[in-house]
Amino acid sequence: MKGLVVAFVLMGLFASSCWAADIRVNGLFGGSAVLVINGKQRLLKQGQTSPEGVTLIDSNSRRAVVELDGRQMTLGLSDHISSSFQAAEMAEVRIPRAENGHYFVSGFINGRPADFMVDTGATSIAMNLHHAEQLGVNFRRGRKGSASTAGGIVNAYHIPLQKLTIGNITLNQVDATVVVGDFPSQILLGNSFLSRVEMSEEEGVMVLRTKF
């Protein structure tokens, strides 16, 4: 997708947990990734586990999802995590501003990968019918209603998403609106998520942090 900028994700693990491997992302492809694990370069395909015990869960040209010891992490190109890394308890996601002035980030809806555009003017997570069908969102079980778009008032379904993950921030029961039609072309990360995290901007980088 044009203009998509990968979020630089700082993975917040609890102080009692750490990774048993040193992992760096050297290459990203659809369904595979080049990882340097404990100094050894590994080309892993989706679902494959390295001799070090690192499993590639999902990968595209923007990010890879890896799993080690039952814990998953999203990494962008050149991102690095080591066994000596002991993160603070507060989860944090940093999203660079794209050239068009918007903020784009990858994440997961109910465990399925999705790409978002941050929209502080959107009341909730917003997506079109095609997005919902791709993500397996059973929108017809939601509450029928309407949504205001640039083209006027359109039919919509309002439904809570069971789980929404951006980087290492996961929220449950996040309100979403599924718009009947092709709008919006990009899934919008709206205030049903943003209002539940701390949000700030630092020199062109949007920073999201968990609230306590």
With a cut of 50, say whether residue 18 has pLDDT above it. no
Q: What is the pLDDT of residue 34?
A: 92
Type of residue found at 201: E
Reported pTM: 0.59
Residue 162 sits in the same domain as residue 73:
no
**Element housing 131 (H / E):** helix 129-135
The domain that holds 54 is classified in CATH as: 2.30.30
Say whether 141 sits in a helix, a strand or coil: helix
With a cut of 50, say whether residue 87 has pLDDT above it. no
pLDDT tens, 121-167? Answer: 999 999 999 999 999 999 999 999 998 877 788 899 999 999 999 99
The band of 55, judged by pLDDT with boundaries at 50, 70 and 90, is very high
With a cut of 60, say whether residue 184 has pLDDT above it. yes
Side-chain half-sphere CA neighbours of 129 within 13 A: 7
The band of 21, judged by pLDDT with boundaries at 50, 70 and 90, is confident
Q: What is the mean pLDDT of the chain?
A: 85
The domain that holds 138 is classified in CATH as: 2.40.70.10
The band of 88, judged by pLDDT with boundaries at 50, 70 and 90, is very low
**Token duo for residue 182:** 């092709």
Domain with 114, as residue range(s), is: 92-210
Residue 45 sits in the same domain as residue 116:
no
Domain stops at, among 54, 81, 108: 81
Neighbouring residues of 38: CB distance < 8 A, sequence distance ≥ 6: 21, 22, 52
The answer to whether residue 5 sits within a structural domain is: no
Q: What is the pLDDT of residue 83?
A: 53
Q: Are 189 and 104 in contact (CB under 8 A)?
A: no
Q: What is the pLDDT of residue 90?
A: 66
CA nearest to 158, candidates 147, 142, 173 = 142
pLDDT tens, 59-76? Answer: 998 888 998 887 888 888
**Element housing 144 (H / E):** strand 143-149
With a cut of 90, say whether residue 192 has pLDDT above it. yes
As a whole number of angstroms, the distance between CA 3 and CA 18 comes to 34
